[in-house]
């Protein structure tokens, strides 16, 4: 009887979600302050829609200087490819602005805008057709108890979302417990590891082992400079989805610095994801 050895590919990806923040005049300075750190990890910046054009130009500017691990992301996408959907933005439009990644199913979209699994699935399909990598967010709702994470409900949601989709050529998953978003507390390492292991095995059952081991798993919710050292050693964790800490380039730089410093002492192989 032989052993079936499965190697997993590790990533360090930081996704920055500005939500409904920032103004045009701050963007250029912001990029220049963080550029020192983005040679060592993959950084995806998700600005509000009106700033995609300017951020796309800044991304190209840094890429042309050899910083090829900076990417443009979107915070959301329309659930149809085109048509009479007032106020919506299609995946093709995002692609037109050089968007490589898009968040989908963020807790704020699920709770404030009542997005359900069907809508989220349709958004993933639109993104895949446009060649944009979906970052599927999932997690306990904001009223849940921080100490009793419902792993079963979480894995069910992922299974229902991925089931029936064409095998995604590339997808990222981001666990964000609702209670942690906007605060500065994060779940204990054992809780995160339990969730990530369960999510990985759900993905293996849904997508197959080969695909599943290439899917990066991110953590988001309360990620700050003063707690990142507790998160980094977490097994199965490939990166972070950051909100509040990313609103100022100074606090984001401090966080990236810690990730880069700590990351260089880890055995993880840095293997950035390229857009399709």
Dihedral in degrees, nearest 10, Cα atoms 91, 93, 96, 98: -60
- What are the residues facing 71 on neighbouring strands? 44
Dig out the tokens for 235 from the structure. 């097994």
Position of minimal CB gap to ligand 13P: 243
User: Which residues neighbour 257 within 8 Å (Cβ) at sequence distance 6 or greater?
Assistant: 37
Which of 17, 35, 157, 212 touches ligand 13P by CB under 6 A? 17
User: Which residues neighbour 225 within 8 Å (Cβ) at sequence distance 6 or greater?
Assistant: 245, 251, 254, 255, 258
Nearer to ligand 13P, 144 or 209 (CB): 144
Stretch that binds ligand 13P, among 6-14, 193-201, 218-226, 252-260 (CB under 6 A): 218-226
Contacting ligand 13P within 181-200 (CB under 6 A): 181-182
Instruction: Tell me how far apart the alpha carbons of residues 73 and 19 are, in angstroms, rounded to a whole number.
Output: 12
Nearer to ligand 13P, 222 or 239 (CB): 222
Catalytic position from the list 79, 106, 115, 236: 106
Under DSSP, is residue 190 helix (H, G, I), strand (E, B) or coil? helix
Dig out the tokens for 252 from the structure. 């984001």
Q: Where are the alpha helices (DSSP H) in the chain?
A: 27-34, 52-64, 91-96, 107-112, 117-130, 151-162, 189-207, 209-212, 228-231, 249-263
C-beta of 55: minimal distance to ligand 13P in Å?
17
C-beta of 4: minimal distance to ligand 13P in Å?
36
| CA 178 vs CA 142, 144, 187, 197: distances in Å | 4, 7, 11, 20
Contacting ligand 13P within 133-172 (CB under 6 A): none
Contacting ligand 13P within 219-238 (CB under 6 A): 220-223
User: Is 106 part of the annotated catalytic residue set?
Assistant: yes
C-beta of 15: minimal distance to ligand 13P in Å?
8
Stretch that binds ligand 13P, among 125-133, 187-195, 215-223, 260-268 (CB under 6 A): 215-223
C-beta of 176: minimal distance to ligand 13P in Å?
6
User: Which residues neighbour 115 within 8 Å (Cβ) at sequence distance 6 or greater?
Assistant: 105, 109
Contacting ligand 13P within 89-108 (CB under 6 A): 106
Nearer to ligand 13P, 131 or 244 (CB): 244
Positions marked active-site: 106, 176
Q: Which residues bind ligand 13P (CB under 6 A)?
A: 17, 106, 176, 181-182, 220-223, 241-245
């Amino acid at each position: 009887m032989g052993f079936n050895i499965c190697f997993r590919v590790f990533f360090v990806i930081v996704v920055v979600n500005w939500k409904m923040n920032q103004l045009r005049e701050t963007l250029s300075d912001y990029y220049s302050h963080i550029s020192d750190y983005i040679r060592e990890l993959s950084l995806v910046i998700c600005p509000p829609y009106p700033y995609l054009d300017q951020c796309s130009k800044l991304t190209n500017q840094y890429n042309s200087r050899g910083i090829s691990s900076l990417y443009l992301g979107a915070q959301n996408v329309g659930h149809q490819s085109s048509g009479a959907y007032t106020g919506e933005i299609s995946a093709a439009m995002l692609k037109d602005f050089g968007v490589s990644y898009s968040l989908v199913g963020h807790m704020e979209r699920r709770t404030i805008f009542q997005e359900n699994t069907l809508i989220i699935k349709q958004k993933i399909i639109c993104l895949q057709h446009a060649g944009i990598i979906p970052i599927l967010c999932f997690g306990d709702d904001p009223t849940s108890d921080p100490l009793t994470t419902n792993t079963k409900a979480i894995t069910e949601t992922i299974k229902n979302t991925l089931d029936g989709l064409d095998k995604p050529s590339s997808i990222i998953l981001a666990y964000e417990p609702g209670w942690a978003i906007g605060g500065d507390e994060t779940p204990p390492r054992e809780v995160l590891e339990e969730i990530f292991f369960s999510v990985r095995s759900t993905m293996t059952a849904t997508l197959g082992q080969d695909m599943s081991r290439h899917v990066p798993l991110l953590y988001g919710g309360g990620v700050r400079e003063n707690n990142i050292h507790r998160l980094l050693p977490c097994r199965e964790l490939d990166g972070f989805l950051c909100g509040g800490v990313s609103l100022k380039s100074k606090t984001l730089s401090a966080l990236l610095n810690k990730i880069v410093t700590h990351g260089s002492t880890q055995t993880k192989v840095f293997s950035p994801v390229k857009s399709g």
